[in-house]
Amino acid sequence: MNSGTPRPGYFVADALHRLRHPFIPTVVAMLVAFAGTTAIFATTGLAVASQQRTLERINSPQGRLIAVTDPQGSAGLSPESVEVVSNISGVEWAVGIGPATDVSNAAIPGSAIVTARRIYGELPPAIETSHGNQLLPGEALAGPDLAKQLGFSQGVGAIESRTLSAVVVGNFSAGAPLTRLNGELLVGASTSDSNRLLTLWVSVSDVAHLQTVTRAVTSALVVESPGALRIDTSKDLALLSSDVAAELATSARLLVTALLLAVAILIGILQFGRVSGMAKDIGRSRALGASRSTIVLQILINAGACGIVGAGLGTLVGVILDFALTGQAPVAAFSLSVGILMVLAALAGSIAPAIRAARLDPVRILRVP
């Protein structure tokens, strides 16, 4: 018993046939989708890619750093600030350092003199050590090559100065943004000691929250005269980037919309032409029992297939193009959205021709030899 409803296999076989017969509209539709997609990548995609690069630069460790300094040494910034600030949400880590002191090898009088500082708080990820990230009071870590300068053959030994004595237990190497600490000796200290901080570095988890976190940090500091402190952030850079992003978003949206619309219209015109050329075939199918929805589906499958091939290739070429020009591919979400929107545009443009095809009168068509 016949069901009267074509199986999915019919649509697949029919679609494959109709992509090849006629061939020219298929190729042109694919080219339109391809050109529209690459055009988006060549304009908006480029901007997105370079914006992405700017954002990555701003979101670098350097860009996410708040530096609280006491340039005259008169503000009275307490080491307790380190603990208080570490607990603020949005703070990745906080570390404080005291003023520099000259120290030398306690065992060799008159040996080389190096700079040492007290360091407060857990050692941040930017500082790599041979000793873990906790430095107890009285323990010290030497910067690269410093142990040798001090004459410690095993890398360990005691150091001392008038105000400070400690045991060097290992070494460290500081990466961005704390590279300036390399070449010094870091001495563990308790945040409850009575010394003062020279600098408090605070790293923010997300550059987008830089301003809010800076405000929170400023008000949480344990300090005698806050007016004497200097607080540096990359906030100007961050502000600039959000302005750029907002402006880009508006003009890009406009351009992308225009391109999608153009693709939809062009593919719609192509499909209208195709439907006229296929009128006899559509009338015959209808007479053989194809319903209107079958005809609509066939047209949309054709448009979707052209869109997927064209937009797929366009996305591939576009991503490569943007990478070649900016050294940075646009974010995946952008590339994927462009591809999907282009396929939807091809489908949207084909709705009117599909409806027209479904409304063709098979009787009129069959009467014409």
Partner 1 sequence: MQIQVQDLEHRYQSAGSPALSKLSHTFEAGTLTGITGPSGAGKSTLLYLLALMLTPSAGSIRWDDQDVQDLADADRARLRARHVGFVFQDAVLDLSRTALDNVMEAGWLAGLRREESASRAQELLDRFGVGARATYRPGEVSGGQAQRIALCRALVKNPEIIFADEPTGNLDSESADVVWRALADAASEGAIVIVATHDSKRVAKLPNRLQLVP
Among 118, 196, 286, 356, binds partner 1 (CB under 8 A): 286
- Which residue, among 369, 362, 368, 367, has the nearest Cα to 288 in the 3D structure? 362
Residue 157, phi-psi category: left (phi > 0), alpha (psi -120 to 50), beta (remainder):
left
The DSSP output letter for 79 is: T
Closest to partner 1 by CB, 6 or 137: 6
Closest to partner 1 by CB, 246 or 288: 288
Query: Measured from the CB of residue 41, what is the shortest distance to partner 1 in angstroms?
Result: 36
Query: Measured from the CB of residue 267, what is the shortest distance to partner 1 in angstroms?
Result: 21
Query: Measured from the CB of residue 244, what is the shortest distance to partner 1 in angstroms?
Result: 53
Whether residue 228 contacts residue 72, with contact meaning beta carbons closer than 8 Å, is answered with: yes
333 makes contact with partner 1 (CB under 8 A): no
Site string for partner 1, 124-163 (x = CB under 8 A): ----------------------------------------
Structure tokens at 227: 């007016």
Q: Which residues pair with 141 in a beta bridge?
A: 170, 186
281 makes contact with partner 1 (CB under 8 A): yes
> What is the pairing mode between strands 65-69 and 139-142?
unpaired
Site string for partner 1, 224-263 (x = CB under 8 A): ----------------------------------------
Query: Measured from the CB of residue 271, what is the shortest distance to partner 1 in angstroms?
Result: 17
| Cα 276 to Cα 263: distance, rounded to the nearest angstrom | 20
Closest to partner 1 by CB, 288 or 333: 288
Structure tokens at 279: 């009128």
- Which residue, among 105, 62, 328, 97, has the nearest Cα to 210 in the 3D structure? 62
Site string for partner 1, 339-368 (x = CB under 8 A): -----------------------xx--xx-
Closest to partner 1 by CB, 261 or 365: 365
15 makes contact with partner 1 (CB under 8 A): no
- Which residue, among 321, 310, 334, has the nearest Cα to 256 in the 3D structure? 334
284 makes contact with partner 1 (CB under 8 A): yes
Q: Which stretch binds partner 1 (CB under 8 A): 4-12, 164-172, 204-212, 242-250?
A: 4-12
7 makes contact with partner 1 (CB under 8 A): yes
Query: Measured from the CB of residue 303, what is the shortest distance to partner 1 in angstroms?
Result: 19
Helices H / strands E in the chain, number of each: 11, 11
Among 288, 324, 332, 333, binds partner 1 (CB under 8 A): 288
17 makes contact with partner 1 (CB under 8 A): yes
24 makes contact with partner 1 (CB under 8 A): no
Among 198, 204, 290, 360, binds partner 1 (CB under 8 A): 290
Whether residue 53 contacts residue 326, with contact meaning beta carbons closer than 8 Å, is answered with: yes
Closest to partner 1 by CB, 22 or 175: 22
10 makes contact with partner 1 (CB under 8 A): yes
Task: Name the residues that contact partner 1, by CB under 8 A.
Answer: 1-7, 9-10, 13-14, 17, 21-22, 280-281, 284-294, 362-363, 366-367, 369
